[in-house]
């Protein structure tokens, strides 16, 4: 197959731990041709054809010099067997435009993973509202008075922006916090930007689990991202420690409940964030943690993903 990956700049990817690189290497191992381009390389040409300046890649095991560009060509996206969207958030205006171009490409016969319309519809914070039976008490608003009332009701609350990733712009606030008004002013941009407030889940102390679903089926191990001392965020980007572990009964329950809906919506690769018994995020843009699970448990979720593309 010819598989094109939409990525951030290739030289920014940390090959020793990056799930996209792991997928690319697995694809090459299985005899497929791998290509890459950035969002800015896409264009709608005369007649409405969606195309991109695409680089064909030669991969190496060396994590420092892990790729070489073997050639470049303007290529219509429908000429690839799969176009895998792996651009990291933030989901800004340019990201939105990219999904609109990808939807046009799908209409021309391109197979985009994950489906472009679902990348738009599944805000990674708000998507949990599709599955309310697994949510902790949650509020979304830009009205600071509503957030203050929510904090008064639940005492310990997490406040986070709707377009963040990697643990950025996440605050734990309680009703006695002297800085809580200042935090809400900053988070909501003085009441002009909607945020999410969630009742704090103490089980974060034993890990914010990333549960990977591929074609609706859960990888048998999660990566529990355990906060470092003095932190309430388990994200690896914030110094959390990743510990691979077998899925719990509750993890399986959540995954099995969500799987059919995600597949129906064209979401082949999804990363669920689970803290304790609660679903906290549905990550659809560029879910990670494949490498850590492979290194600790030997389970190759990148191979499972490429098999899903082959099927």
Is residue 236 pLDDT above 80, yes or no? no
Nearest-10 crossing angle of helices 301-310, 290-297: 120
**Phi and psi (nearest 5°) for 6?**
-90, 120
Is residue 239 pLDDT above 80, yes or no? no
- Could you give the CA distance from residue 194 to residue 249 in angstroms, rounded to a whole number? 34
Q: What is the pLDDT of residue 38?
A: 98
Fold observed for domain 137-199 = Dna Ligase; domain 1 (3.30.1490)
Within the chain, all domains assigned CATH 3.30.470.20 are found at 126-130+203-299
Q: Residues 140, 194: contact at Cβ < 8 Å? A: yes
Q: Residues 83, 6: contact at Cβ < 8 Å? A: yes
Residue 141, CA atoms < 13 Å, CB-side half-sphere = 13
Give how far the C-alpha of residue 281 lies from the chain's centroid of Cα atoms, to the nearest Å: 9
**Please, what is the average pLDDT of the chain?**
95
Predicted TM-score (pTM) of this structure: 0.93
Grouping H, G, I as helix, E, B as strand and the rest as coil, residue 198 is: strand
Q: What is the pLDDT of residue 244?
A: 97
Q: What is the pLDDT of residue 169?
A: 79
- Could you give the CA distance from residue 145 to residue 142 in angstroms, rounded to a whole number? 9
What is the DSSP pairing of strand 195-199 with strand 112-113? unpaired
Within the chain, all domains assigned CATH 3.30.1490.20 are found at 137-199
Label residue 90 by pLDDT band (50, 70, 90): confident
Q: What is the pLDDT of residue 229?
A: 72
Q: Please return the burial class of 197, using the count of CB atoms within 10 Å of its CB with bins 0-12, 13-18 and 19+.
A: buried
Label residue 233 by pLDDT band (50, 70, 90): low
**244-279, pLDDT tens digit by residue?**
999 999 999 999 999 999 999 999 999 999 999 999
Question: Which amino acids are annotated catalytic?
Answer: 125, 160, 210, 225, 233, 273, 281, 283
**151-209, pLDDT tens digit by residue?**
999 999 999 998 877 667 799 999 999 999 999 999 999 999 999 999 999 999 999 99
What mean pLDDT comes out for the span 60-83?
97
Within the chain, all domains assigned CATH 3.40.50.20 are found at 2-116
Class of domain 2-116: alpha beta
What mean pLDDT comes out for the span 22-33?
98
The domain 126-130+203-299: what is its CATH number?
3.30.470.20
Q: What is the pLDDT of residue 234?
A: 62
- Could you give the CA distance from residue 19 to residue 185 in angstroms, rounded to a whole number? 36
Is residue 238 pLDDT above 80, yes or no? no
What mean pLDDT comes out for the span 80-98?
95
Per residue in 58-97, is it b (16+ CB within 10 Å) or e — as a string?
Answer: ebeeeeeebbeeeeeeebbbbebebbbbbbbeebeeebee
**130-155, pLDDT tens digit by residue?**
999 999 999 999 999 999 999 999 99
What's the Rg (C-alpha) of the chain?
20
């Amino acid at each position: 197959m010819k598989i094109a990956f939409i990525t951030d700049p290739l030289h920014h990817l940390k090959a020793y731990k990056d799930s996209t690189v792991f997928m690319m290497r697995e694809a090459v191992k299985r005899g497929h041709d791998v290509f890459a381009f950035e969002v800015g390389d896409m264009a709608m040409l005369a007649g409405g054809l969606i195309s991109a300046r695409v680089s064909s890649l030669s991969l190496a095991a060396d994590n420092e010099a892990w790729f070489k560009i073997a050639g470049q060509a303007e290529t219509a996206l429908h000429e690839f067997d799969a176009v895998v969207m792996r651009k990291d958030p933030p989901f800004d205006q340019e990201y939105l435009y990219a999904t609109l171009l990808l939807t046009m490409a799908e209409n021309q016969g391109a197979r985009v993973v994950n489906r472009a319309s679902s990348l738009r519809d599944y805000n990674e914070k708000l998507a949990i509202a599709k599955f309310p039976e697994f949510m902790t008490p949650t509020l979304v608003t830009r009205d600071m008075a509503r957030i203050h009332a929510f904090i008064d009701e639940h005492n310990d609350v997490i406040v986070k922006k709707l377009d963040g990733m990697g643990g950025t712009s996440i605050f734990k606030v309680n009703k006695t916090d002297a800085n809580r008004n200042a935090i809400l002013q900053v988070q909501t941009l003085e009441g002009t930007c909607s945020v999410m407030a969630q009742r704090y889940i103490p089980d974060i102390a034993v890990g914010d689990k990333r549960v990977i679903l591929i074609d609706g089926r859960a990888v048998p191990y999660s990566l529990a991202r355990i906060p470092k001392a003095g932190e309430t965020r388990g994200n690896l980007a914030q110094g959390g420690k990743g510990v691979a572990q077998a899925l719990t009964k509750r993890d399986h329950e959540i995954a099995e409940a969500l799987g059919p809906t995600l597949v129906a919506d064209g979401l082949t690769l999804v990363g669920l964030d689970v803290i304790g018994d609660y679903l906290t995020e549905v990550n659809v843009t560029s879910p990670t943690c494949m490498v850590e699970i492979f290194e600790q448990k030997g389970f190759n979720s990148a191979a499972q993903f490429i098999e899903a593309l082959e099927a």
